[in-house]
Every structure is written in structure tokens, then in C-alpha cells.
Amino acid sequence: MPEISYQQLSPKYFKQVIELANKVHGVGYLNEKSLADWAARSTCTKIINGTKIKDIANNCSFVALLNHRSGTATEQTDTEQRLIGFRITFSADQWQTDQWCTPKLWQVPKNKCCYFKCNTVDEKYRGLGVGKQLLQLSIQAVKKQGAVAGISHLWKQSPNNSAVAYFTHCGGELINYHPDKWNDDSKHGYICTICGNDCHCEAVEMIIRFN
């Protein structure tokens, strides 16, 4: 069983996150600018003396790291870490609904809903519970921020519809279907692994309610 550890997302992991994201989801899915924006949305704001301040200590996005120790059992060893997965989650006060959202069906106020933006695990390490652990860490963090539920758009065309199956297994409830959600992105640099630069994949809008 590989030794896997989990850390909050920080700039030191950005390069590896971008490489894995573009490998799994398609060229142009993430870049330095977009990831920096996503990371900023992972922290909520708090008000101190009437001023809104980013609560950077309460970060709800996480990375999974494979730990490899060099040297023998009797020698001093160094630990090398390789990123094998990540979960990007937006705090409830850091995202806006759009035409792909159906808040009237959520039965939860929008300002109490975080947004599960992206979950990605290296193909070699799937089936080890990495995705589930990343989700649970995000849920623990957003609950501290005051969220009571989380919204996500799952990729229906993922291999064997695994994205929807995984989210359902973790408690996700179906809200709505949204054809062509990523079509505009594919016209502006994103290359879908299935459709190329004219993406017609369908997004499945789902919600997880926290207990």
C-alpha cells in the first residue's frame, strides 16, 4: 500500500496540479492564472473591525502526495513527495451561480453552499480512496466556514461515468443535466479529451448535504 499524505493547496504545488489537470482533463484545462484564481476562492473571508479579510488559514482545497523515502532502514532517509491528486473547492462566499446552476432545486441558500470545482486523481492511484479522502477533507473545512451543502457539476462522459458514480457514492444527489457546459471553454483554449476543441460533453449538477 503506497504511503499517501494530504496537505492544503498552496503555490508550491501549483506546477504539479496544472500538469496533472491537463493530463487528465485535457490541454488548456488549467494554467497558472486560472489556478491562482481557483486557489483564492478556496479561502473564505472574515470581517475584522468592519473590513473583509481573507482567512487563508481556512483553506478548503487539498492535494494528495505520494511519499517515497530514499535510503536504507538503517540510514537517515529523505522523503520525496509527488502529487497524485487534488481537490479544488470554492468557499460559499467565493463563487457565483450561472446558467448552469439550478438553485431553486437545492433547498439550501446559496450563501450556505460551497462549490466542488474539481477532483482529479492520477490514473495509477485510483481505487485507493484518494478521491474520497480529498472530498472529506474539503467537507470538514467548508463546514468550519459555515457551509451546509456543496454543489458540483460532474463530467458525465468520464470513463464509465465514474465521476457521477463516485459523487453519488459519497452522498451526492442529482439536481439537473446541462448539455454543452464546457463548449465555450473549448472555443477558448480548452481541448476536451473526447471532443477536442468543440466540446459537447454533458454536466450533471449534483448536491451533497452535510450532516
CATH number, domain at 78? Answer: 3.40.630.30
Q: What is the value of pTM for the model shown?
A: 0.86
Task: Tell me the residue range of the domain where 97 lies.
Answer: 4-209
Task: Count Cβ atoms below 10 Å from residue 40 Cβ, excluding itself.
Answer: 13
Tens of each residue's pLDDT in the chain, 211 residues: 789 999 999 999 999 999 999 998 888 999 999 999 999 999 886 655 555 556 656 899 999 999 876 655 555 555 689 999 999 999 998 999 999 999 999 999 999 999 999 999 999 998 899 999 999 999 999 998 889 999 999 989 887 778 898 899 999 999 999 999 999 999 988 999 889 999 999 999 999 999 7
State how far Cα 172 lies from the chain centre: 15
Residues 91-116 pLDDT 10s: 998 999 999 999 999 999 999 999 99
38 φ/ψ angles, rounded to the nearest 5 degrees: -60, -45
- What pLDDT score does 51 carry? 57
- What pLDDT score does 54 carry? 61
Q: What is the 3-state secondary structure (H, E, C) of 73-119?
A: CCCCCEEEEEEEEEEEEECCCCCCCCCCCCHHHCCCCHHHEEEEEEE
Split into its structural domains, the chain has a count of 1
Residues 45-58 pLDDT 10s: 665 555 555 665 68
